[in-house]
Structure formats: structure tokens, C-alpha cells
Homo-oligomer: A and B are copies of this chain.
Amino acid sequence: MKEGPDIARIATLIGDPARANMLMALMGGQALTATELAGAAGVTLATASAHLSKLEDGGLLSQRRQGRHRYFALADSAVAGLLENLAGLAATRGHLRHRPGPRDPALRRARICYDHLAGDFGVRMLDSLIGRGAIMADGEALQLTESGHRFFCEIGVDVDALKTPRRPLCRACLDWSERRSHLGGALGKAIFQHILAEGLAKREPESRAIRFTREGERRFLALFPVQDADAA
């Protein structure tokens, strides 16, 4: 009967709406305090506290006390990966809670997905990279090409520094708003940081939305041109 790991344990953990909201909030990649998370989940601080301990000793969250604050973050990118996976499936299965229409336009346009760019801008970027032959797609597996390597070095992303056994360089991440893939992995993270560092865009304070400056958007589109009509 019960062979293998206890899959139900963590699924239950994620299955509670309040906890799910907290986790999704943490997909923003930055640590949040208990009170902030309580707000995000729409519950009292008391209940939030209970949820957070459960999540923590479920191994999904890491926690750091700092003064009288308690900061929580996703335990690591494996957890983020699982959540992405879940979100991707949830977006395509069963009755969709929200129709694909623009619920929060800013979010659909550009947002942060744990540590890389997602939304319309995210999938466009990956499309462009594939189109120019910088990345080769084989199903959902992605591979950086020679020319892609050169391209990133030119624009100032040190690809070689990213090669770690712990995390794949390129990862396809299913975008729930666009229902297509965008670029995750170490490279996705590095590009995103590059974009922020260059001042093309910056994070909205209380949200996962990313706001591009007028000039930033122009430069972004120049860097990642869209060839023509996009495929469904």
C-alpha cells in the first residue's frame, strides 16, 4: 500500500488555501515576515503563525529571526520548482478559477517567478532566444548553444560563472498566464538580475509585478526582438 515517500504529507501542506497563498507570495523570491504573510493569506496572525510552523517543519520554508521579526522564505529552488510545476498544471486542468483574461494586467505583462522573469515579457524573451538560435528547445528541455553563450557574454552575463551542479543552467518553466514556457534556471535568474541592475525595470513594492521603464522596455525589445507572429 504505502510504498515510497509520503507524497500526501506535503501535498496536504500546500493544499490549504491560506498556506498556498503564502507560498505563492514567497514565489516573489524575497523573505517576508509573518505579518506580511498573514496579510497575503488573508488570515489572522494567530492562524498564520500556526501555518508557518507547519510549513517550516514540513521542510518547505526556511526561517530567520532578525530582531523581533521573523523572516520566512522558500526553503530552496526545489520547492520553487514544485510550486511552478503545480501552478502550471493548475492553470491547464479542471475549471480555471479565473479566465485567462487580463485579471491583473500588470502581472500578466511582467512579473517575477521566484527569481526570474515571467509573464508576457518572459515568454517573449525565450521565444526570441530560441528564434535567434541562442537556445535550443527539445520538448521542455532547453540547451544553451555556442552562439547563445557568446551572445550572453556580449551583453554582460557571465555564463561560465553560472555553471553549478546544483542547479540547471536553463529550465523551461510553464507560465500560467501565457500557457507557454519562459526561461528559468540559473541563466534565467542571471538575466533577470542583469535587467534589474541595468535599470531596465524594477520591482513593484508589494507585488510580484515588474515595471519596465519606457526606455527599459525599448532596450528590452531591442535586445530580444520578436520575429513575427507568435505561435499559439
Within 8 A of B (CB), among A130-173: 137-143, 163-171
Chain A interface bracket (under 10, 10 to 19, 20 to 34, 35 or more): 35 or more
Across-interface contacts of A4 in B (CB, < 8 A): 24, 87, 91, 107, 176-177
A163: nearest residue on chain B (CB-CB)?
B138
CB distance from A29 to the nearest CB of B (A): 15
Across-interface contacts of A143 in B (CB, < 8 A): 141, 143
Across-interface contacts of A49 in B (CB, < 8 A): none
CB distance from A96 to the nearest CB of B (A): 7
Across-interface contacts of A97 in B (CB, < 8 A): 2, 5-6, 9
Residue with the highest number of chain B CB atoms closer than 10 Å, among A1, A7, A104, A171 = A7
Across-interface contacts of A86 in B (CB, < 8 A): 7, 10-11, 82
Within 8 A of B (CB), among A103-138: 103-104, 107, 137-138
Across-interface contacts of A163 in B (CB, < 8 A): 138
- A168–B172 Cα distance when bound, in Å, is 11
Whether A221 is near chain B, meaning CB under 8 Å from some CB there, is: no
CB distance from A45 to the nearest CB of B (A): 16
Contact at A93–B75, with CB atoms within 8 Å? yes
Which of A55-63, A65-73, A196-204, A211-219 is found at the contact surface with chain B? A55-63
CB distance from A129 to the nearest CB of B (A): 15
CB distance from A59 to the nearest CB of B (A): 3
Q: Which of B2, B90, B139, B142 contacts A167 (CB under 8 A)? A: B139
- In the complex, 23 of the A-B residue pairs with CB atoms within 8 angstroms, ordered by the A residue number, are A1-B21, A1-B42, A3-B24, A3-B208, A4-B87, A6-B96, A6-B97, A7-B83, A8-B16, A10-B90, A11-B14, A13-B15, A15-B15, A57-B94, A58-B94, A78-B89, A85-B85, A138-B168, A139-B165, A139-B166, A139-B186, A141-B143, A141-B168
Nearest 4 pairs of A and B residues by beta carbon? A59-B93, A139-B168, A12-B15, A8-B20
